[in-house]
Amino acid sequence: MSNKTIPVASLGFPRIGRHRELKFALEGFWSGKISEPELLETAAKLRAENWALQQQKGITHIPSNDFSLYDHVLDTAVMVGAIPSVYAWTGGEVSLSTYFAMARGSQSEGHAGCGHGHEGHAHHGQGVPALEMTKWFDTNYHYMVPEVSEDQHFALTSQKPVDHFLEAKALGIHTRPVILGPVTFLKLAKARGAAFKPLDLLARLLPVYEELLRRLHAAGADWVQVDEPVAALDLSEGERHALTVSYQALSKAAPDLKILVATYFGGLEDNLEAVTALPVAGLHIDLVRAPGELEPVLKALPAESVLSLGVIDGRNIWRADLAAIIGKLEAAIATRGAASFQIAPSCSLLHVPVDLELETGLDADLKSWLSFATQKLGELATLGRAFGEGKATVTAELEAATKVIAERASSPKVTDVAVRSRIATIGEADRKRTSAFAERQKVQSQAIALPLFPTTTIGSFPQTPEVRKARSAHSKGALTDAQYESFLQKETEATIRWQEEIGLDVLVHGEFERNDMVQYFGEQLSGFAFTQHAWVQSYGSRYVRPPIIFGDVSRPKPMTVRWWEYSQSLTEKPVKGMLTGPVTILNWSFVRDDIARSVTCRQIALAIRDEVNDLEAAGAKMIQIDEAALREGLPLRHRDWQDYLGWAVESFRICSSGVEDRTQVHTHMCYSEFNQIIDAIAAMDADVISIETSRSKMELLDAFRTYKYPNQIGPGVYDIHSPRVPAVGEMVDLLALARQRLDDRQLWINPDCGLKTRKWEEVRPALVNMVAAAAELRRAV
Ligand code: GLN
Ligand code: ZN
C-alpha cells in the first residue's frame, strides 16, 4: 500500500434498510404473506445496497457478514452448530424455520416483553421456546444467548460468511468479512445443565473457526474482522489467556489471511498487554470511549501491526469534530506511516439510524449537528482523504464541520441558563425525604387506608388494537383532539370501573394516552427531539426510535396531572400517579456528548420532580416513578459502577424528595437481579418498590432479606410476559415463598410489570385471581 493512502473501514452497517425493509419482509414472512425466496431476496437487496453505498462513499474495507436476518450472535451459534436439542436439528444445513424457532420460539407468541422493546430477556408461551435474549454489552441491542452443553459438539454448519463474501464479490465489491470472535461467543453463551464454563469448550470450538478462516481465504478474502468486544470487560486471567490461545491457533489456520481483532465499547485497560500481543495482523480500538489509549496501544503494538483507529462515534448521532480528530492522530500517523493505520468508526454503525436525509421534520439547526450511519461514512472518508491525500484536499469539509460544532456549542437551543443555575443549587435537602422510612410509613398508613397485602398493578392496561388505531388516526389528523380525548377518557373510565369492581386496592389510570413510556415524556420536555425515520434495531424485527436529547432539559408545563385528576375524580380508591424516572429516560435516549450523562440525568430529575410535586398538590397520595432501565445502564467495568449508581440514585432521589412524608413514592423495576445493586436500591428509599419475581420463585427476595431491606416490596406474582392465566393457588404459593423472606407488613401484591402487551381476555381472569389470592392470604393470617 502506498504511503499516500490510508484505508478507511466501516465495522458494520445497519441491516434494517432505509425504510425498515427487513422488518416488513420478516413480518410478512412470519405471517405467511411472503415466501422464503422473497424474504431472502429482500435481504440480498439490502446487502447489495449497503455494499454499494459504502463503496460509493469511499470506504475501502467494506464489511460483509455484518448482515443478519435476526441477530449476529444467533447466526454464529447456528454456524458453529450450537443448536440445543429442543430444536430437533439433525445435522446438515440449518433451515430458516429452525433458525427462527431459536429466535422466536415456534408456535410463537414472540417476545412480548415489557412492551418497550428494551426488555432484558425473551419470554415464551407453549411450544418450543426461543433462546433467551439479553442486552449486547451496554447497548440497547439485544442478542440471542447461545446455549452450550458440557458435551457440546461444534461443527461448521453454515458458510454464511463465505457466501456473503462471494455474493459481494459477484457484485464487484471486495469485502472484509466480519465474524464474532470465539472468546466473545463463548463468554456470551450460557451453560446448559451441568455446572461448567462455556469457555472450557474453547479447544473444541477453535477448529470450527480455523476451518471457516481457511474457507474465507480460499474464497479470496485477504482480511477478516474478528470481533472481540469482551476485551473491554473485566476479564479473568483465564479469559485473557483464552484470547491468546485462540489467536495463536487462528493465525495459523490461514497464514495469508490477515486478522483484525476488533475491540470496542471501552478501553482495553488491564487487557491491553494481552490484546496488543495477540499474533494478528491488526487491532481495532475504540478511541471514542477510550481516547487515552492511543499512546499506550501504539507503544505496546508490534511495529508491523496495523492499528484501526475507532474515531467516529458508532454509538451516538452527533457530527464529529473532524479537525480535532485529525489533530489527535496526526503525529502518530506521521511517525508510523499511513499504511500502518486504518480509519474506522468506534464500533459497528448498527447502533445508529441509517440516514439523516430521511428526516424532513427536524429543526434545521439540530439537523445540521447530526450524523447518522450514512453521514458517518462520509466523515470517515473525509478523514481518510485528509491522511491520504492531505488535509488541503478536504479543507471545505473540515471547515464545515468546525463551523457546525461551534454553532452547536453556542446555540441558545442547547443551553438554558435557568436550568443550569437550578442544577447548581441542588442541595442535600433536595435529595432527601423529610423523615426516614419508618416515620413516613406511620404517616402514610394514616393518610391512606389499606388492608394487609394491598393489591395494585404496575400502570398500563392492554393497548388494544382500538387504542392503537385511535392513536394513529389522531396523529394522522383523522381524529380531532376532542374525539381522541373522549376516546381516551372512555378507556380510562372503563378501566377504573373494572379495577374497582374486582376489588383492587390501589388503582392506575391505564396509560392509554401513552405511545411509549419514554417518548410520552420526552415529547413534553424541552431539550428533546423526535425523528420520523431514525430507527435502530432493538432485537430481531423490533426497532426503536430513541429520542434525541440535544439541550438542557426542563418541563414547560405539567405532563400527567390532567389524566391523574380525571381518573381520581372517578373513584374513591387511591389512584397512583404514574411517571417514568430520569435514569430510564436517559438510558433509552441518544444523549448529548457535550455534557456528562450525569448532568442530563439530574436535569431530567428536576423536571420529573416538578411533576411529582404537582401531582401531590393536585391530591395524589401515591406516585410511582418507574426505573425500568436503571440496572441495564450499569457500565461495563465494575470500577465504574459506583459512580453510575451514585448519580442514578441521586437523580431518583431528586425527583422523589420534594413531597411530604404522607405521600407514598413507588418505583418499579422490571428485572430480577438485585444482588449486586441492593445497596443502591435501598438508597433510592422508595416507600414501595415493585419488581419482577414470578419466574424466579421469589428467590431474588433473598437479596432484600439479607440486606434487611426495610421499605415495602411488591414482588410480581404474575408473569405478564406469558398469555397464561395464573391460578389462585399458584399465586398463593408464590406469596408463601415471599412471606418466608419478608415481613407481612412489607408485602404488596402485583403483577411483574405493566399489562400493555396483554389482551383483556388474559388480564381479566389473571387479576381476578390475584385479588382472590390476596383475600386468601388475609384470611390465613
Ligand atoms: N408503568 C409502566 C407500565 O406499566 C412500566 C413499564 C415498564 O416498567 N417497562 O407499562
Ligand atoms: Zn416493568
pLDDT in tens, 722-761: 889 999 999 999 999 999 999 999 999 999 999 999 999 9
State whether the beta carbon of 578 lies less than 6 angstroms from ligand 1. Answer: yes
- Residue whose C-alpha cell reads 449486547 in the numeric block: 136
Count CA within 13 A, CB hemisphere, residue 132: 14
The cell numbers describing 569, all together, are: 375524580
Return the residue whose CA atom lies nearest to atom 9 of ligand 1.
114
Pairwise CA distance, residues 640 & 50, whole Å: 36
- Residue whose C-alpha cell reads 427487513 in the numeric block: 22
Ligand 1, from 457, 460, 624: best to mutate by most atoms within 8 Å of Cβ? 460
Is 121 a catalytic site residue? Answer: no
pLDDT of res. 4: 63
**CA of 27 relative to ligand 2 center, distance in Å:** 26
DSSP 747: B
Return the residue whose CA atom lies nearest to atom 8 of ligand 1.
628
The parts of the chain modelled with pLDDT lower than 70 are: 1-4, 107-126
Closest C-alpha to 719, from 689, 755, 688, 768:
755
Ligand with smallest separation from the Cα of 693: 2
Cα radius of gyration (the chain): 27
In Å, what is the CA distance from 111 to each residue of 118, 460, 540? 11, 18, 10
pLDDT of res. 722: 86
- Nearest atom, ligand 1, residue 756 CA: 10
Ligand 1, from 517, 669, 689: best to mutate by most atoms within 8 Å of Cβ? 517
Which amino acid makes up residue 661? D
Alpha-helical segments (H) within 481-526:
481-502, 519-522
State whether the beta carbon of 60 lies less than 6 angstroms from ligand 1. Answer: no
State whether the beta carbon of 517 lies less than 6 angstroms from ligand 1. Answer: yes
Query: Between helices 728-741 and 760-780, what is the axis angle to 10°?
Result: 50
Q: What is the dihedral of CA 591, 595, 596, 600, to 10 degrees?
A: -60
pLDDT of res. 721: 86
**CA of 117 relative to ligand 1 center, distance in Å:** 12
pLDDT of res. 671: 77
Q: How, if at all, do strands 712-715 and 688-691 pair?
A: parallel
pLDDT in tens, 364-420: 999 999 999 999 999 999 999 999 999 999 999 999 999 999 999 999 999 999 999
pLDDT of res. 112: 41
The cell numbers describing 575, all together, are: 389512584
Return the residue whose CA atom lies nearest to atom 6 of ligand 1.
754
Alpha-helical segments (H) within 570-691:
582-587, 597-618, 641-656, 678-684
pLDDT of res. 477: 96
Pairwise CA distance, residues 677 & 682, whole Å: 9
Beta carbons within 10 angstroms of residue 229's beta carbon: 24
Pairwise CA distance, residues 39 & 26, whole Å: 7
Exposure class string for 266-280: b at 16+ Cβ within 10 A, else e: bbbbebbebbbebeb
State whether the beta carbon of 689 lies less than 6 angstroms from ligand 1. Answer: no
Nearest 5°: phi and psi at 542?
Answer: -95, 120
Pairwise CA distance, residues 566 & 489, whole Å: 8
pLDDT of res. 563: 98
- Nearest atom, ligand 1, residue 116 CA: 9
Ligand with smallest separation from the Cα of 460: 1
Return the residue whose CA atom lies nearest to atom 4 of ligand 1.
754
State whether the beta carbon of 739 lies less than 6 angstroms from ligand 1. Answer: no
Pairwise CA distance, residues 463 & 221, whole Å: 50
**CA of 584 relative to ligand 1 center, distance in Å:** 11
Pairwise CA distance, residues 620 & 614, whole Å: 9
Return the residue whose CA atom lies nearest to atom 3 of ligand 1.
754
Contact 258, 224 (CB under 8 A): yes
ipTM: 0.99
State whether the beta carbon of 753 lies less than 6 angstroms from ligand 1. Answer: yes
**CA of 575 relative to ligand 2 center, distance in Å:** 18
SS (H, E, C) 516-549: CCCHHHHCCCEEEECCCCCCEEEECCEEECCCEE
Which amino acid makes up residue 329? L
pLDDT in tens, 59-94: 999 999 999 999 999 999 999 999 999 999 998 899
Pairwise CA distance, residues 538 & 588, whole Å: 11
**CA of 668 relative to ligand 2 center, distance in Å:** 6
Pairwise CA distance, residues 202 & 768, whole Å: 51
State whether the beta carbon of 459 lies less than 6 angstroms from ligand 1. Answer: yes
State whether the beta carbon of 631 lies less than 6 angstroms from ligand 1. Answer: no
Pairwise CA distance, residues 316 & 324, whole Å: 17
Name the average pLDDT for the chain: 95
Pairwise CA distance, residues 656 & 749, whole Å: 22
State whether the beta carbon of 632 lies less than 6 angstroms from ligand 1. Answer: no
Pairwise CA distance, residues 137 & 119, whole Å: 14
Active-site residue, from 121, 124, 217, 721: 721
